[in-house]
Structure 1
Amino acid sequence: MPTVVVSGGSGAVGKATISLLRKHESPVYNIISIGTKLNPEANHNILVSADDSIESQGEKVIQQAGLLLKEGEKFDAIICVAGGFAGGNAASDGFLASAAFNLNKSLNPALIASHLAAKYLKEGGLITLTGTANLTSTPGYIGYGVAKAGIHHLVRSLASPGSGLPKDAKVVSLSPAAIDTPANRQSNMPALIPLNAITQRLLDWTTGAIPVPHGKIVEVVVENNEPTWKVL
């Protein structure tokens, strides 16, 4: 039974991803959720505290993930969909707190997932990280932009020789614009990407139904009411 790790498994995208993996019949997946809350659909949960440092969270994830693997086993895929958003420009009173929030919610989980992949992903396995579409300057939400730019850099670095990933491992960034989640609907954000379009693409990459564009940033936006995909 192939094993898939979903980091951010207690968030909206993570829950939907795990639900889709759970429904998949061939193969049947053994699912490990990493998150701040339990996901009852996962076979196993690794709980982390958002208040802990990246070192503390990473040590816990690595230790508990290793205990869930039998001797000789490796993970088939690691899907990191952890994220969050806080705005603020450099003059904002809460600028540094906003920046710390974005790093803790987005970039730090991606770094932990990368370290986990280096230790426990099988050769030829898959790691997906979550960037953002149309990333240029973000003057009104600088911390968020820095975190997502860091993920894009991380993907390209992991795809380069000497990154520490296992032989023939694939890495890709799924980088959507705003996704149709409860929080984004409440914010009245326009042109939301259907959540099932995101989770289906993650499943298709995991199963091999669609080739993985190794080392690439795959942007997803809505055009003419349909999600469109662009490989950068």
Structure 2
Amino acid sequence: MEDEELSVTQRYGLIYGGNTPLGARCVADLKGKGWWIASADYSVNPHADVNILLQSHEPPEVHERSVISCIQRVLDGKLLDLIFCTNETLKEGSIEDNLISVGMDMWLAHVAPSLICAKIAAVCMKNSGVLVLSGSTAAMKANADKIGYSIAKSSVVHLTKCLAMPGSGMPAGSLVICLMPFYLDTPYIRGLNQHVSCGSFTPLQFISDLIISWGMKKNLPGNGAMCQLITTNSNTEVIYKK
């Protein structure tokens, strides 16, 4: 775990998955805007103010305790303005494959971190803070060859709706948004979708700019909104749905 002495900053954020391609882009851009940023991931992001190193052999409950403990210790009473949970892991699999194993892997990759970030928000985020979870537009349709992934991403969508309801335990006046890209422009996602045209991948910079605007309380959708990102001919359209 690495941390630096806190300087006087106006905003504090946590990127859960801060060394994934999208998470790293957000960390760098938020730092460029003067934010204090913590990264929680399995490897170090050298640009973050604090790195909370997760261990793959540890259960989600340990990850949750580790992140909350570190945030509370380092911020010493200050609270987060923004939490963004991101993970691009995708495993294909139909009912003919090892569906239980794939399904559990996808649950641990996508649902567990989302639940952890929801708990972090309840404990460590300001009133009127913003929690952004990662769903998938592609997973909202039936996918016979991506059953485990689709179930996991659908669960994140449902979690978003639940957290937006009164009595969920979220901080007063806070906002939860489900970010739903179709194809992220990363080498990993491009490799899995070689049949897709180059102009259909959503640039990471576009998403990072969107996350920053929400963190700055600009262009905010309604609480519990699904933010679909559809990129066609290199132009990305943002579609909000409840």
- Per the normalisation by structure 2, the TM-score is 0.90
Q: Is the CA contact (8 Å cut-off) linking 1:50 and 1:104 kept in structure 2?
A: no
Structure 2 unpaired stretches of 5+: 1-8
Between the aligned partners of 1:206 and 1:227, the Cα distance in structure 2 is 20
Paired position in structure 1 for 2:48 = 42
Amino acid at match of 1:209: K
For residue 176 of structure 2, give the secondary structure of its aligned residue in structure 1. Answer: strand
Between the aligned partners of 1:186 and 1:91, the Cα distance in structure 2 is 23
Between the aligned partners of 2:83 and 2:227, the Cα distance in structure 1 is 17
Between the aligned partners of 1:169 and 1:162, the Cα distance in structure 2 is 12
- Once the two structures are superposed, the pairs formed by residues 83-102 of structure 1 within 5 Å of their partners are 83-92=88-97, 94-102=98-106
Matching of residue 231 in structure 1 with residue 240 in structure 2: yes
Q: Is the CA contact (8 Å cut-off) linking 1:88 and 1:98 kept in structure 2?
A: yes
- Once the two structures are superposed, the pairs formed by residues 71-90 of structure 1 within 5 Å of their partners are 71=77, 73-90=78-95
Shift of 1:214: 1.6
For residue 200 of structure 1, give the secondary structure of its aligned residue in structure 2. Answer: helix
- Once the two structures are superposed, the pairs formed by residues 17-28 of structure 1 within 5 Å of their partners are 17-24=26-33, 28=34
Matching of residue 202 in structure 1 with residue 206 in structure 2: no
Between the aligned partners of 2:234 and 2:39, the Cα distance in structure 1 is 32
Amino acid at match of 2:23: G
Q: 2:67 aligns with which of 61, 71, 81?
A: 61
Paired position in structure 2 for 1:174 = 179
- Once the two structures are superposed, the pairs formed by residues 69-218 of structure 1 within 5 Å of their partners are 69-71=75-77, 73-92=78-97, 94-134=98-138, 135-187=140-192, 188=194, 190=196, 191-218=200-227
Paired position in structure 1 for 2:4 = none
Between the aligned partners of 1:208 and 1:182, the Cα distance in structure 2 is 31
Amino acid at match of 2:177: V
CA 1:227–1:189 in structure 2 vs 1: closer, same or farther (change >3 Å)?
farther
Q: How many residues align?
A: 227
After superposition, the C-alpha distances for 1:13-60 in whole angstroms (9 at most, x for unaligned) are 100111111111xxx211000101010000001111223211121121
Q: Is the CA contact (8 Å cut-off) linking 2:221 and 2:240 kept in structure 1?
A: no
CA 1:39–1:189 in structure 2 vs 1: closer, same or farther (change >3 Å)?
farther
Structure 1 unpaired stretches of 5+: none
For residue 144 of structure 1, give the secondary structure of its aligned residue in structure 2. Answer: helix
Between the aligned partners of 2:204 and 2:100, the Cα distance in structure 1 is 31
For residue 67 of structure 2, give the secondary structure of its aligned residue in structure 1. Answer: helix
Q: Is the CA contact (8 Å cut-off) linking 1:178 and 1:189 kept in structure 2?
A: no
**Alignment RMSD (CA, Å):** 1.3
Q: Which moved more, 1:94-103 or 1:152-161?
A: 94-103
The list of structure 1 runs, each at least 4 consecutive aligned residues, that deviate by more than 4 angstroms after superposition, is none
Between the aligned partners of 1:91 and 1:20, the Cα distance in structure 2 is 43
Identical-residue share of aligned pairs (%): 25
After superposition, the C-alpha distances for 1:90-148 in whole angstroms (9 at most, x for unaligned) are 220x3222112211111111110000000111111110001011412221111101110
Q: Is the CA contact (8 Å cut-off) linking 1:8 and 1:83 kept in structure 2?
A: no
Between the aligned partners of 1:227 and 1:163, the Cα distance in structure 2 is 32
Q: Which moved more, 1:163-172 or 1:221-230?
A: 221-230
